[in-house]
Structure 1
C-alpha cells in the first residue's frame, strides 16, 4: 500500500452487499481510502499484475472492469463523482491506478448489456477460443473448458483446472442431545455433559445432524450465509432432508428440463449409467476373487453380470434397463455373500439385501453408508445448480430425489460397498459394540456411526486418477465433476458423463 491517506470502511458497503440500483450492480468493496477528500475504492488481488512490453504494470482487463464497477457503486452510494480506483497485486506488490473516465464507463455499460443478454438466453455461452485465458479463470471449474476440448479432441490430454480436493471438511454430530451454537465465526458443539468443542466456520463444508441434535437459529443463519449445507439423518440412519443455498439461475434448470424431456437423450444417459454401474460391480468382484477359490463359487454370478452388461446397449426402454440392472444386482450381492461368508460366526456375514428394515448388521452398515452417499449426491447436484427432483433414469416414485439416485449409481461400489466389505473382512466391527437390535431390525449405535462416518469420509478423500480424462482428484470432488459433466450432456457438449469406470 502507498503511504498517506486514511482507510475507512462503509458498513453498508464493506460489511454487507452494497448496491447500485441505477446500474444494477451488487458487490463488496475490499477497502475505501480517503486522499485529499476523495474516496478511492481499493481492490486486493493475490496474483501478479499484467506486465506490458515496456516493463510497466497494468491491471488485467477483468480486474479493471471490476474496479470500474466498484467505483460506480461507490459513486451512487456517495452521491458524488468517483474518478479513480486502484488495484493492489500481492504477488508482485504492485498497485495499479485505474482512471474512471467516460471511455471506461462505456466499457462497463457494454459489459453490463452483454451480461443481461446472456442472462436472458437459456443457451450456455461457449468456452473461450484462447486456451490461455482459461488457465487462471475462476470459472474454469464451472464451465470445464479443458474437458470440453478433450471431448472434441481425445488425443489432446486436458490440463487439470478442476480442484483436486475440497479445502474444507464435512462435520457430523452424532451424540444425542448435543447442541450446535454460534460463537463469532465458529460453531460450538456442546454435548449433554456440557463438554464443548469449537470449529472455525471457514474449515467446514457441510454439517450433518444425526438423530436428536439441536442447532440454534443463529447457527442456521451463519451456515446459510456462508453457503454451508446442513443435512438431517434420523437416529436409524434414514436421510430426512437438507438446508442448502442453491447455486445457478433459472437458465441452468431450463436447460436441464429441456434435456431430460428428450427421451432419446434420457435413454442414452440411462444406458451409459447402468453399464458403468454393472461394470464397476463386475470389476470389483473379479478383483476380490482373483487367485482364490471364490472365483469358482462366483462363476455363474460373474457370467450373469457379463451377460447383463452386454445387453444394456441393446435396451430400448427404461423398463428393460431396470430388469438388466436388477438381474446384475442379484448376482452382485450373491458374490458379496460369498466374499463375507467366513464372517458368519461373528454375525457379520451378508446373505441377501434387506433395507426396510435392515435385518442384519451388514445391511444396517450398508444402508447407513448409502444414506451418507445420498446426502453427498444431493449436495453435489444443488452445488452445481441443478434440480435434484428431475432425473433421467429413476422416476419420482418416493420422497427421494430421482437425480440424486441416478448419481448414486456411479458411487455405490467405490464409496459404500467397498467400505462395507473391506471393513468387515478386516474385522473392524463388533456386533455387540457397534450395533443395536430391536426385533428383526438392526442399526448402528453411536459408536458404530462414528466408525462408519470415519471410514466413509476417509474413503471420500482418497485421490483417484480418472481413466478417461487422465488427471487425479478425490472422490468427493469427482461427484461434483460428474454432475458438471452431466450438465454438458444437454448443453451442447456431450460425451464424458458416466465414462469413469470408477475403481
Structure 2
C-alpha cells in the first residue's frame, strides 16, 4: 500500500527554495525560514514568484517528488516531474483509446456518472445533517433531477451529448449550492460559478480547491505511469492536463466542494481571510491561503473506506487509488473503470 507523505506548501510570495544535502531550505532574502527532509515529502507546492534552485528541481525529479509552481492567487504555472513511471505499453494503450471516440465515450461516461452521483451525495448530506436549516423541497428536487440525468448519462452515445448532460447537471447542482451555505451569508453567498478571476469569496475558495485537486490528480496519474495530458472527456489542448481534469470530475464534489462547505459552515474561515482587488476580483489573503492549506492537509489525513476496494485509506490517497484503477482498466485487468462513489 502506498503511504501518504507530506505536502510542503510555500505560501510566501518572496520565498526561495534551495537544496542543502537531503533537505529543502526555505529562505526569504538572507534569512532561513525553515528546512524539511526530502524523504518525508511527496510533493512541494509553491505560491511564490521567487522559484527554486536547479539543484532542488533535480533532486525532486530524481526522487519523484512533484514540485509545482503556482501564482500567489493559485493559478498553475509549471510543474517539475522526474522520469516517467510505468511502461510505454500502458501509455500507447492510453493514446489508442483516447483516439477512439467509442472507447473515449465509455470512459468519459464513468467520470460523469461519478461526478453526478457525488454531487447528489453532497446535497443529500446537507439535507440529512441540517434538515431544519435548508429548503427541503428545493434540494430534493435537485437530487431528483440529478438522478434522472445520471440515467441519461448512462445511455449517452457521444462525447458531445455527454458534455451537454454534464452541463445541465452542473447547472442544477450549482443552482442550489447557495442553499448548502449556512453561515455568514453576507460574505459567503453563491450566485453562480465565476472564475478568472473569482468575484466572491465562495468562488475564490472553490477555484483554489480545484487548482490544488487538479495538481494532486496529475501527480497521481503520472505516478502510475499514465500521461496526465491525454484525456478522454477533455480533449488535447497544449499545456492542459486533460486526463487530470477527467479524473478530477468525480472528485470535485466530495473532496473540494464538501471541504469548502465545511470551512464555511463550521466557521473555520472568516471574511477577513479575503482580499478584494480594484478589478473586483476576490482572492484569498496570505493568512487565508495558509489556513486553507493547513485544513486541506488535515482533511487528507482523515480515513475513509474506499467504496470499490473496501479498504481504509486516507482521503489524500483517493486520487492515487483512482489513477491506479484507471491504469488497471487500461491494461485489461478490470472489465470497467469504477468511478469513486462517495458513501
* TM tier, smaller: over 0.9
Structure 1 CA distance, aligned partners of 2:67 and 2:196? 25
User: Of the candidates 277, 283, 286, which is equivalent to residue 121 of structure 2?
Assistant: 283
Equivalent residue for 2:335? 495
User: Of the candidates 184, 193, 196, which is equivalent to residue 356 of structure 1?
Assistant: 196
Q: More displaced, 352-361 or 478-487?
A: 478-487
Structure 2 CA distance, aligned partners of 1:268 and 1:330? 23
8 Å contact kept, 1:381–1:387: yes
Equivalent residue for 2:246? 406
Equivalent residue for 1:100? none
Name the SS for the 2:326 alignment partner: helix
Q: TM-score, normalised by structure 1?
A: 0.64
Q: Does 1:464 align with 2:304?
A: yes
Name the SS for the 1:343 alignment partner: coil
User: Of the candidates 155, 159, 173, which is equivalent to residue 314 of structure 1?
Assistant: 155
Equivalent residue for 1:209? 46
Q: Does 1:242 align with 2:82?
A: no
Q: Which runs of 5+ in 1 are unaligned?
A: 1-161
Equivalent residue for 1:87? none
User: Of the candidates 269, 272, 275, which is equivalent to residue 432 of structure 1?
Assistant: 272
Shift of 1:326: 1.0
Q: Does 1:174 align with 2:11?
A: yes
Structure 1 residues 227 and 490: alpha-carbon distance in aligned structure 2, compared to 1, 3 A threshold: closer
Equivalent residue for 2:58? 221
8 Å contact kept, 2:116–2:250: no
Q: Does 1:271 align with 2:109?
A: yes
User: Of the candidates 444, 448, 455, which is equivalent to residue 288 of structure 2?
Assistant: 448
Shift of 1:263: 2.8
Question: C-alpha deviations, 1:41-81, integer Å up to 9, x for none?
Answer: xxxxxxxxxxxxxxxxxxxxxxxxxxxxxxxxxxxxxxxxx
Equivalent residue for 1:332? 173
Structure 2 CA distance, aligned partners of 1:469 and 1:405? 23
Name the SS for the 1:372 alignment partner: helix
Which ranges of 4 or more aligned residues in structure 1 deviate by more than 4 Å? none
8 Å contact kept, 2:7–2:44: yes
> Residues 10-49 of structure 1 correspond to what in structure 2 (within 5 A)?
none
CA RMSD of aligned residues (A): 1.8
Structure 1 CA distance, aligned partners of 2:313 and 2:44? 23
Structure 1 residues 175 and 481: alpha-carbon distance in aligned structure 2, compared to 1, 3 A threshold: same
Structure 1 residues 213 and 172: alpha-carbon distance in aligned structure 2, compared to 1, 3 A threshold: farther
Name the SS for the 1:289 alignment partner: helix
Equivalent residue for 1:260? 98
Shift of 1:250: 2.0
Structure 2 CA distance, aligned partners of 1:455 and 1:179? 24
Q: More displaced, 284-293 or 349-358?
A: 284-293
Structure having greater relative contact order (Cα 8 Å, sep ≥ 6): 2
Structure 1 residues 185 and 252: alpha-carbon distance in aligned structure 2, compared to 1, 3 A threshold: same
Q: Which runs of 5+ in 2 are unaligned?
A: none
Name the SS for the 2:277 alignment partner: strand
Question: C-alpha deviations, 1:460-501, integer Å up to 9, x for none?
Answer: 222211222211112222212211211222322223533330
Structure 2 CA distance, aligned partners of 1:268 and 1:209? 36
Shift of 1:222: 1.9
Structure 1 residues 336 and 201: alpha-carbon distance in aligned structure 2, compared to 1, 3 A threshold: same
